[in-house]
Amino acid sequence: MINNPMIIGTLELKNRLVMPPMHTGKGDRGHVTDDLIQYYADRAKFSKPGLIICEHCCITEQGRASETQLSIADDSCIAEHRRLTDAIHEAGSKVFIQLNHAGSMAEPLDGGEIVSASATASPRRPQAKTPRALTTEEIHGIEKAWADAAIRALKADYDGVEIHSAHGYLLNQFYSPLTNGREDEYSSKTMGNRLRFLLETVQTVKEAIGIDIPLAVRLGGSDYCEGGSTEEDAVEACRMLTDAGVHILDISGGMCGYIRPDVTGPGYFSTMTEKINAAVKTPIILTGGVKTMREADALLQARKADLIGVGRALFQDAHWREKG
């Protein structure tokens, strides 16, 4: 099944293998480098994923996660990103960009202040400076920054856009009860409130790029820790994201990051994707612990998801697929 093609709206994938977004450290203060382009081109050429989702790019300097993170925060980035998409397309894969604001996990180069849902440090970086809670006006400004970045991505010939709401970054900080101590309409008191920032971002992005452009959300569905978000929360959130018109749900961890502390092995987020798959028709990407094509195929056969992401194995070896 992993080699079967798939059509998602206007997106045609030659197979169901996905290279998920993974930070390479090959960027240079936001800029695409020749080394980075070669890295992605090699993986498209030799492992032949139907879809590559490039590593997270900051939408503003305030939201930068590290010095080596890529940026698409202004128009000067478009040409160099087009060099990247051209190389991936030439090698035979479709490519999305992942857009991100790191929130309390940010490390802006200009030393600017750190912001989040509330004045609560991320459990993923507890020693970091305490963030300042965003105002409603600032939230709307960041939503526009996401839309502006998405427009630049299309000008750079990306085939679609993924909004990063996982791994303890800003949108995930609003979704998780561990970091959302607000008392307004973005509070953690209801799922509608917890997801409001993300849903507004989805709407703003879709209005900017059009409803038919493929739009994915990487959702950190469960924190897998006491007091955090749960798999049941993820099901409810995915119902709302489906209603909002999201085309692909890319499921991962929340404050636990891209690992699951209590489970290992191929497809370790599959207990969550199974529940989501039973609740919505939106195509689902499952990533985590998959090391072989046989494992990927087995997860598809078991209906754990619609597409399978292979992360670290592909990260380490562009020739991964050739080795079985």
Cβ–Cβ under 8 Å, residues 287 and 220: no
- The CA R_g of the chain, rounded to the nearest whole Å, is 18
Residue 65 has φ and ψ, to the nearest 5°, of -90, -25
d(CA 159, CA 238): 22
d(CA 109, CA 302): 45
Cβ–Cβ under 8 Å, residues 252 and 220: yes
d(CA 31, CA 170): 22
Cβ–Cβ under 8 Å, residues 165 and 220: yes
SS3 7: strand
Tell which residue, 99, 94, 3, has the closest CA to residue 40: 94
Catalytic residue among 39, 40, 158, 169: 169
169 is catalytic: yes
d(CA 166, CA 186): 17
Residue 307 has φ and ψ, to the nearest 5°, of -140, 150
d(CA 288, CA 265): 8
What is the chain's percent helix, strand, coil content, to nearest 5?
35, 20, 45
DSSP state of 181: -
Q: How many CA atoms lie within 13 A of 311 on its CB side?
A: 18
Tell which residue, 101, 126, 130, 131, has the closest CA to residue 115: 131
Active-site residues, by number, are: 169
